[in-house]
Amino acid sequence: MNVLITGGAGFIGSHVVRLFVEKYPNYHIYNLDALTYAGNLENLVDIENKPNYTFIKGDITEEAFVNSLFGTYKFEGVIHLAAESHVDRSIKDPLAFVKTNVIGSMILLNAFKECWKGDTTSKKRFYHVSTDEVYGSLGETGLFTETTPYDPNSPYSASKASSDHFVRAYGETYKLPYVITNCSNNYGQNQFPEKLIPLFINNIIHNKPLPVYGDGNYTRDWLYVKDHAIAIDLVFHKGVNGETYNIGGVNEWKNIDLVKLLCKQMDFELGRPKGTSEQLITYVKDRPGHDLRYAIDASKIKNELGWEPSVTFEEGLEKTIKWYLSNENWLKNVTSGQYQLYYKKQYR
């Protein structure tokens, strides 16, 4: 089976690509990625020479190119992760998010539709990997379920909501076989150091300020990235067409409490006196339209597919910190821009 994974050089995508390449030697995994600032082939050095893996550098917004790929490889499964993914960037440049997240997703959907040819008996499937941010913000209580109305607040979440709607609409209108998952905040190894946890790890290493937005009382539900990859594998193989599944860590943290825990663990790992890193906390101007709280009700995927997070937050955070500390070259290459030369070296 030819499986197309988009955005496989990014954070979550690289974990999904690795899992599929290693677990399914009878599949051929094609990783299509434009290698934007967020794409890093160093994430996949350990599997890049596997016989069932092919990297394709390309942009999902280039229609003729995407159509020709589907024509050549006749993908039976598509797992679509390629996206612009950072809320702060979406506030500065919303159009880039519309281009990739909406138009790019549409181009993929159309290419898949052509390739699937309306054959309702086929096992082909389009899987859209989405976010819980499409549901907007919760107050102090309550959880997002699969039937919570969409209410996106940032250009990022609006673009993801839009692509979710198109996927669903293709399911209704053309009976296109699809699944969607909406997942909470991920953390773990290989996350680009612009997102909260890796940014703060990097800043602590270099004794730089930790910019906490607003009063720090914003809440997120954190999931270890490898548990997300396991859920994606499960939904891809066992999910029911036309269904949406919420994925979450059952692990809510106020930002400021998370940052204090991170500081404590970093002091321990770096052998610094207790309380050293906390002194770096700096309250800064809030993010505009900052969602107060995200929290997932993951009972559907648990009851129907048997998925639960396997790693506690303390374990996951410890693994993550240890990984960043023992892979300082990865961090250095990313922060210096060196990582963008890797493609040129490997794929001349």
- Residues in contact with ligand TYD by the rule CB under 6 A: 87, 185, 195-196, 199, 211-213, 218, 220, 255, 287
Backbone angles phi, psi at 81, to 5 degrees: -115, -15
Answer yes or no whether residue 85 interacts with ligand NAD by CB under 6 A.
Answer: yes
Measure the CA dihedral 92/188/304/298, to 10°.
-60
DSSP, res 23: H
Residues 6+ apart with CB under 8 A from 164: 128, 130, 134, 150, 180, 182, 244
Q: Is residue 151 among the annotated active site residues?
A: no
Instruction: Quote the CA–CA distance of 26 and 251 in Å, as a whole number.
Output: 35
Class of residue 48 by CB neighbours under 10 A (exposed 0-12, middle 13-18, buried 19+):
middle
Coil/strand/helix, residue 29: strand
Binding mask 115-154 for ligand NAD (x = CB under 6 A): --------------x-x-----------------------
Chain-centre distance of CA 319, in angstroms?
A: 18
Residue of 53, 127, 135, 156 with catalytic role: 156
The residue range among 83-91, 146-154, 167-175, 270-278 that interacts with ligand NAD, by the rule CB under 6 A, is: 83-91
Asked if 290 and 218 touch (Cβ cutoff 8 Å), the reply is: yes
- For ligand NAD, give the closer residue by CB, 36 or 153: 36
179's contact among ligand TYD, ligand NAD, none, with CB below 5 to 8 A by partner kind, is: none
Answer yes or no whether residue 197 interacts with ligand NAD by CB under 6 A.
Answer: no
Answer yes or no whether residue 298 interacts with ligand NAD by CB under 6 A.
Answer: no
Instruction: Quote the CA–CA distance of 247 and 181 in Å, as a whole number.
Output: 7
Q: Is residue 283 among the annotated active site residues?
A: no
Answer yes or no whether residue 98 interacts with ligand NAD by CB under 6 A.
Answer: no
Instruction: Quote the CA–CA distance of 216 and 61 in Å, as a whole number.
Output: 37
Instruction: Quote the CA–CA distance of 102 and 96 in Å, as a whole number.
Output: 10
Q: Is residue 33 among the annotated active site residues?
A: no
Answer yes or no whether residue 104 interacts with ligand NAD by CB under 6 A.
Answer: yes
Asked if 43 and 17 touch (Cβ cutoff 8 Å), the reply is: no
Residue of 33, 84, 133, 164 with catalytic role: 133
Binding mask 147-166 for ligand NAD (x = CB under 6 A): -------------x------
- For ligand TYD, give the closer residue by CB, 190 or 255: 255
- 328-336 vs 196-205: helix crossing angle, rounded to 10: 100
Rounded alpha-carbon distances, angstroms, from residue 195 to 87, 118, 155, 175, 186: 9, 40, 17, 37, 10
Residue of 33, 59, 84, 132 with catalytic role: 132
Q: Residue 347 Cβ, how far from ligand TYD at the closest point, in Å?
A: 30
Q: Residue 155 Cβ, how far from ligand TYD at the closest point, in Å?
A: 12
Answer yes or no whether residue 320 interacts with ligand NAD by CB under 6 A.
Answer: no
Answer yes or no whether residue 100 interacts with ligand NAD by CB under 6 A.
Answer: yes
Answer yes or no whether residue 59 interacts with ligand NAD by CB under 6 A.
Answer: yes
60's contact among ligand NAD, ligand TYD, none, with CB below 5 to 8 A by partner kind, is: ligand NAD
7's contact among ligand TYD, ligand NAD, none, with CB below 5 to 8 A by partner kind, is: ligand NAD
Residues in the chain: 348
- For ligand TYD, give the closer residue by CB, 19 or 199: 199
Q: Residue 234 Cβ, how far from ligand NAD at the closest point, in Å?
A: 16
Rounded alpha-carbon distances, angstroms, from residue 3 to 30, 75, 81, 282: 6, 6, 13, 45
According to CB under 6 A, which one of 9, 44, 179, 311 is a site residue for ligand NAD?
Answer: 9
Annotated active-site positions, please? Answer: 132-133, 156
Which parts of this chain interact with ligand NAD (CB under 6 A)? 6-7, 9-13, 33-36, 38-39, 59-61, 81-85, 100, 104, 129, 131, 160, 183, 185-186, 192
